Amino acid sequence: MEPVTPRQTDILDLARRDGRVEVEKLAAGFDVTPQTIRKDLNDLCERGLLQRVHGGAVSPSSVSNWAYESRRNLAEEEKRRIGRVAASLIPENSSIMLNIGTTTEQVAVSLRHHEGLMAITNNINVANILREAPGVEVIIAGGLVRASDGGVVGEATVDFMRQFKVDYAVIGASAIDADGTIFDYDFREVRVSREIMKHARFTILVADKMKFERNAPVRIGHLSEINFFVTDEMPPDPIMKICRENDVRVEIAGENPGATT
């Protein structure tokens, strides 16, 4: 196999920095044709250095999770829309649990004007977003704090969540398989997410369309266990079939919000 070219090395650096690279932007940046970039991406994917997605490539999800700040910047506007729609499903004077994730943080942003809300979380970022909201009481779980993303995980966190029974769980995920399985990267984080789902009357899954293109190793659960699924684009047909068969309400937080299936 031929060595990686200087341009391919630069592409790898961009992918590691930003989490995702796009064909058209790379072609413009390197002043080459899109076909040349596609060949570069295909070569890098064959080596296992990148993973191909629609319109570009991402860092291999089977090796490591994306840097948290990079993930926060990915699909930023889509996550904001998802956050607004998910928050609209949560009535005032209710209790919620929110897990770790950049999309759940956007739900928290849209909950700041709720009244009579009790919010329990293992996400320091969510706690900071909500702590000054006058109508929200914030409870944060104890446990090991991860430096990478402010997530609180571990056995103490799981035990803490077992004390509660809330109205709504808001769950983010890293990948959704075509068979409806919901995945994340860290088994300690997944244990907390499972406990959150177990101790909620209704569960809201928040995930943008990129989650249909990615893989992650640890199973959180299945779409059949979810009550509401908020995403930014109509999911693939196999996912929609699973949702219909299991009475999962799908909310599309598109540019013209309000679509429901």
Q: What pLDDT sits at residue 67?
A: 52
Residue 256 scores a pLDDT above 90: no
Q: What is the pLDDT of residues 173-212, one digit of tens each?
A: 989 999 999 999 888 899 999 999 999 999 999 999 989 9
pTM of the full structure: 0.73
Reported as a pLDDT band with limits 50, 70 and 90, residue 261 is low
What does the mean pLDDT of the chain come to?
Answer: 89
Q: How does DSSP classify residue 209?
A: G
CATH fold of the domain at 70-260: Rossmann fold (3.40.50)
For residue 187, how far is the Cα from the chain centroid? 15
Going by C-beta distance under 8 Å and a sequence separation of 6 or more, which residues neighbour residue 185? 61, 64, 65, 174, 216, 217, 218
Going by C-beta distance under 8 Å and a sequence separation of 6 or more, which residues neighbour residue 5? 40
Domain ranges of the chain: 6-60, 70-260
Beta carbons of 4 and 48 less than 8 angstroms apart: no
Q: How does DSSP classify residue 55?
A: T
CATH fold of the domain at 6-60: Arc Repressor Mutant, subunit A (1.10.10)
CA atoms within 13 A on the CB side of 53: 19
Beta carbons of 196 and 234 less than 8 angstroms apart: no
Q: What is the pLDDT of residues 10-35, one digit of tens each?
A: 898 888 777 789 999 999 999 999 99
End-to-end CA distance of the chain: 49
Reported as a pLDDT band with limits 50, 70 and 90, residue 150 is confident
Q: What is the mean pLDDT of residues 46-75?
A: 68
